[in-house]
Amino acid sequence: MAPLSCNPPEWEDDERMSFLFSAFKRTRDVNTCDWDGKMKFWIPLILTHARAQGLLSITLSQLENDFRRKGCAPMGLRTVIQEMIRQGTLRKETDFVSGVSSGWLSWGMRQLVIRPLRWTIGTMLGSQVGPDEPLVIPEVIKERAALVLQRYQSSTFRSFPLLCEEEVHTLCAEICPNPSALNLVLLQLQGDKKICVLERAGQKLVKFVRVSVGQVEPISESDLGIYQLQQGEKLLSERLQSAGEESNRLTEEARTYNRAGNKNQALRCLRKRKLVERRITELQNKQDNIQGILERISAAETDRKVVSAYQMGVSALKQALKDVTLEKAESIVDQIQEYCDLQDDLSQTLSSVTDAEVEIMQNIAKVELLVHEY
């Protein structure tokens, strides 16, 4: 048996465990006390054991093996599992998937999550639970999903509009140590509308909900454009690092040849280094351009937040003025003038944001062409 994180007191009591390991009566009505006593023992123990082992799903055969005692497996675990399914503390994996996929699950998530899940013959046999049929633990999955969301919102990934599959694995590595657990957690987040998934050009992309926002917004063309810019910057950084290493290597080779008296080889290395340095300058200029665009996008986002705050202030002022009588009008003329000035500032700000966005999209197209060339 797998070691239990906390052995229940009864575990060393042979007489008590003989009763708890025995099969259930056909129905609860035969002996409600015995039936309920076994359920009160096994259900909490199964949940505690699953948490301790980091399990988001279990199978009947797995539990029978884990809870073996002195060579014997519990005879009533199938009944316990059926009761847990009835209570909702366990769900068939197929039911969990179909529950999430109804209506809101995107095709991309079907490719990313549902396809890797295990499908067994037991799923075709109606309500009967097969010995190897996966059964998920919704409560534990929700806990892990909340941890993943917290991890994202406190990580550097929160500044990324989209994460690729590799980045999602990196983010969730400690919380979801295996692909099956990650798939289930992603399904839960998808069902809670905390992530949105898209497959584009064979690449799976995930968008997380923003901090203090209730639901994730659909993946937009703007998200994809920013993601491509960030990927372009990453690629340029890698090439810059490689070119820098090559330049250093050529410098050392030139010094070695020079010390050995081989002037021609030393000069040849220096010429190559000159070409590499020229390439470094070109790459650096391209990277600076991309970084400039990303900074402007970030500034535009900040401007939108300022505009939103202005709009809230204008609405509040309108609300405050709606009950003003003619007698009070003279005392608030200055406030109304301020309101008009604010409206002018607001219009100018909105106009500038729109112009910035147009320029940004033009620059994105140029940068994509530059990145493609290299």
Strand partners, 196: 207
What are the DSSP E strand ranges found in the chain? 57-58, 91-92, 135-136, 163-164, 195-200, 203-208
Rounded Cα distance, 182 and 173, in Å: 9
Position 350 pLDDT exceeds 60:
no
Which CATH architecture describes the domain 90-219?
Answer: Orthogonal Bundle (1.10)
- pLDDT digits over 159-194, tens only? 888 999 899 999 999 999 888 889 899 999 998 999
Note if the pTM is more than 0.95.
no
CATH 1.10.10 location in the chain: 90-219
Q: Which two tokens stand for residue 255?
A: 């010094």
Position 303 pLDDT exceeds 60:
no
Q: Please state the separation of Cα 102 from the chain's center in Å.
A: 20
Q: Which two tokens stand for residue 132?
A: 């190897």
Q: How big is the chain, counted in residues?
A: 374
Query: Residue 147's closest CA among 240, 77, 54?
Result: 54
DSSP state of 323: T
Q: What is the mean pLDDT of the chain?
A: 78
- pLDDT digits over 205-243, tens only? 999 998 878 889 898 888 888 888 888 888 899 999 999
